[in-house]
Amino acid sequence: AGDNLFTDCIVAIDATTGKTRWYYQVVPHDVWDLDETSPPAVVMLNGQKVVVQAGKTAWAYILDAKTGRLIRKTQNFTPQENMFALPTPEGTRMLPGANGGSEWSPISVNPTLQYAYVAGLNQPMLYKTHPAPYEKGRLWLGSAFTLAPGASQNGTFTALDLKTGKIAWQNRIDQPMMGGSLATAGGLVFTGEGNGNFNAYDAQSGKLLWQFSAGAGCNAAPMSFELHGEQLIAVACGGNFQLGYPLGDAVFVFG
């Protein structure tokens, strides 16, 4: 019973004492598996330090980093339908599904444009009540979710304008997105797809500038580092078992 604090929350912990400074609960009493799995990012916005977190709800939340006060929610970056309808024995269709919105995929931020880049999933799901006896030491769920039969699945890669909360640009991807993104000071943003594509986009316009086929799902967050004075971009393309993307075991490094 109740809101179930501190689940589905963005939480600030005092790094010295370990005490809770503040919390912001995104979904009270969650029965849809819409927990906050994507890592928060701390950025400066109009001279104020804020926390940005892309939710499974398909909204990104912008909070005051000092107090946890909600400054704004962004526009939804994947479709929403029948939000927060309760599960039924027959099955209740809802979007986003249990994977999001945004799953664990970390966002990236271009501080000059003040855009956040979010990998999104569009997977319509049916939520069904599923009473089961409690067994100690085993996974115990009060409901079950399944993909909606015949529903199309796809992904989005979205630039959110943090100043306004509106979508600056959005590219539709044929498969649900999982893996995260990387923005660089050179005006690029990198992300991977489940089909093995590793992409570079123009950070301001969203135009696809470059693509590499890795042969396995690039479902990890890219990273950037410097070696011998040259900036390099790396990504692990290991695929994804949960979404059925081709598996691999290679790390690719690009100049």
Q: Which positions are annotated as active-site residues?
A: 33
R_g of the chain, CA atoms, integer Å: 19
Are the C-beta atoms of 158 and 170 separated by less than 8 Å? yes
How many Cβ atoms are within 10 Å of 229's Cβ, its own excluded?
Answer: 5
Burial readout 73-102 (b: 16 or more C-beta within 10 A, e: otherwise): ebebbbeeeeeeeebeeebbebbbbbbbbb
Are the C-beta atoms of 168 and 115 separated by less than 8 Å? yes
User: What count of Cα atoms within 13 Å lies in the side-chain half-sphere of residue 41?
Assistant: 27
Q: Is the peptide bond preceding residue 2 cis, with omega within 30 degrees of 0? A: no
Nearest to 93 by CA among 81, 101, 79, 102: 81
Are the C-beta atoms of 60 and 116 separated by less than 8 Å? yes
What is the residue whose two structure tokens read 């099955």?
91
**Rounded to whole angstroms, how far apart are CA atoms 65 and 79?**
28
Sign of torsion, CA 73 77 81 85?
negative
Tokens of 197: 């594509």
Question: How wide is the angle at C-alpha 200 spanned by C-alphas 195 and 202, nearest 5°?
Answer: 135
